[in-house]
Every structure is written in structure tokens, then in C-alpha cells.
Structure 1
């Protein structure tokens, strides 16, 4: 089922999910960031190489970094989110950060992203984080609308994310948690 009423189940990611998560992540970059960063960088992204990095990251992740996947009714992984403590440089703070959220491009608008974000927020509230922060490319209007509908607002912080010598501006969003 892939329409707006599609049901998804959010669960903790397993090592075996890394390959599918990488395909979703790479395709997400290639789709969402087209025109926002150098196209040759996007074209050169390799899901197999990303999966290898993802397996290494997964195996060495700190216990407070949470990787979640969304499965459809058939058990196919259709989205991925990762959150943990907010990183201010190398220092982890009391706030939470949504590090990543990607949905299979054929499932955009079906509730997969909302389910992943809702579970990430719930877990961060349960962990006692006062707020959740995230970074989004300034030009990624679709993602910005998604986060704004979920109660996130830009907090004024911006920084360039550099891709092959090209500055790609990011905007930080924040949402209070727990009340």
C-alpha cells in the first residue's frame, strides 16, 4: 500500500537494514538537493559505498544515538531517521538533534516521514531533552514546510554546509519538547 492512508510501523534499525537505508538516503539526496548543490556530487553518490559507511557508523554508534526505520505493511523499509544529543561543535548538549530523516521517494506524502518524526520526538521527550533541533538546507522548501507543520521554527541560526567548495546554506530549526 503506498497511498496517503498507507500504514507504517516504526522500529529500531538493525544492521541488516543498512543497505536499504543507504539506497533511500542516497536517492533522497539526489532528489531533494537537485539544484541546491553541485549535480556532479549528487550523481557520484554510491549507495554501496554509503551502505559500507552506514554499517561502520551503526556498529560504532554511541548508545544515545537512535536509528529508526519505517516499514510498510509488507515489511519493506521505506524510511529512516536518526537522532541523538545536539552537537555544538564536538560538545553534546542537553538538547536533542534530528540528524537525518529520509523517506523513499515513492512514499513521500504518505505519512512515513510524519511517523518517523513523531517517534523521534516522542523518544527525545521521554529521554528528557528540553528541545529538538535540526538543520535543513535553506533552499529545501519541501522539507522546511514539513518541519514547520510539525511545530519546528527557524531559530535564526544559519551556517554554510560545504559541498565540493560550494557553500550550501543551512537553517537551524527548533521545537520545544515535553509540555
Structure 2
């Protein structure tokens, strides 16, 4: 007799998922950026975030812009975004980017992030990218360890984002990369 398994999966997001993705983003960013950014810089209302998701998924700027969702039964618990890499030192034909990966904080440790990361890599590979890059907060050791355990490594690129244009709200990031198949 086998033990029951969880009803979990990853699929391409639909426009109808915008509200659920926004709810995940608001919760995940609230934790991820707490103490890194001022509270007013972190979205707390999922409604405008959902509208932005509906717009971006309805009319992607590039056919290779993809949104994937992690599901627990029929509930969205995480998402990932893949796209061609836009960094000046990247090749937009060969290099894809994992632009975002987020899982609801109380759903972490259940394999959703690993499934999303694998699906994102497979999606990038299907789009004929040979390398993937992603940016992570320089001080986010937990995320960096998660990515490194999956075969990603720092590639020496780093940046400081000026989030409000005044130089008072900045975010230091490091870039990681991995070869695809």
C-alpha cells in the first residue's frame, strides 16, 4: 500500500490567475523585502498588483515572457517569471532570465519552489536559451543557498538599484547563473 501524495503541480499561468499571483506577490514581498526596503516601498494592496499582472500577461512584450504558477490542489501558492535576459552583458538569444520566483511564506519547504525552479529552467530551455541568469538581494543568504543547491552560481555581476530615483531607496543585488541542459 502506498502513502497518499500531495496534489501539487506547476503550470503556465492564465490571466484568471492574476488575483492569486498578486496575493502571493504581496505576501512574499512583504517578507522578502522587510528590513531591506522602507515599508512604504513594499506593496500591501493586491488589487493594483493584480491589474498589472492582468496587463502584462494579456499583452507580453515578448512571446518568451512566461509566468508559471505552483499549485496546491487548485490554489496558487507560488509563481515564477521567465524572460529573455536584458543585461547589457547578456545575449538575448542565448541568455534567459528567471526574473521572479516567489512562494507564499507559509508554503515554503513543501517543494513548491523547487518545482517552480525546475519548470522555469525547462521553460527557458524550451525557448532555446542555453544559460539562465537571476538577480537576488545581496544579503538574502537563504534564497542564494536555495539557488546554489540547484546548481546556480554567482557570475561576479552585481548592481545597486535606485528604486525611487532619489538615491535614498537602494537595493544591492548579485547575479547568479546556470547552464541549461
If the length of structure 1 is used for normalisation, what is the TM-score? 0.89
Deviations 1:13-38 (A, max 9, x none): 00110001001011111101111111
CA distance in 1, matches of 2:54, 2:40: 25
CA distance in 2, matches of 1:135, 1:7: 30
Question: Post-superposition shift, 1:127?
Answer: 2.7
CA distance in 2, matches of 1:154, 1:41: 27
Unaligned runs of 5+ in 1: none
CA distance in 1, matches of 2:77, 2:47: 17
Question: Post-superposition shift, 1:141?
Answer: 1.6
Runs ≥4 in structure 1, deviation > 3 angstroms?
Answer: none
Question: Are the aligned partners of 2:10 and 2:71 in contact in 1 as well (CA < 8 Å)?
Answer: yes
Deviations 1:12-64 (A, max 9, x none): 1001100010010111111011111112322x532111011111111111211
Match of 1:58 in 2: 57
CA distance in 1, matches of 2:144, 2:24: 19
Unaligned runs of 5+ in 2: none
Question: Are the aligned partners of 1:6 and 1:110 in contact in 2 as well (CA < 8 Å)?
Answer: no
* RCO comparison, higher one (Cα < 8 Å, 6+): 1
Aligned pairs for 1:156-167 within 5 A: 156-164=156-164, 165-167=168-170
User: Cα RMSD between the aligned structures?
Assistant: 1.8
Match of 1:46 in 2: 45
Aligned pairs for 1:82-161 within 5 A: 82-88=81-87, 92-161=92-161
Deviations 1:120-178 (A, max 9, x none): 11122233211100001111121111111111111000001223332210100000112
Question: Post-superposition shift, 1:6?
Answer: 4.1
CA distance in 2, matches of 1:80, 1:149: 19
CA distance in 2, matches of 1:124, 1:96: 6
Question: Are the aligned partners of 1:21 and 1:79 in contact in 2 as well (CA < 8 Å)?
Answer: yes
Question: Post-superposition shift, 1:111?
Answer: 0.4
Question: Are the aligned partners of 2:10 and 2:69 in contact in 1 as well (CA < 8 Å)?
Answer: yes
Question: Are the aligned partners of 2:8 and 2:72 in contact in 1 as well (CA < 8 Å)?
Answer: yes
CA distance in 1, matches of 2:77, 2:38: 26
Match of 2:67 in 1: 67
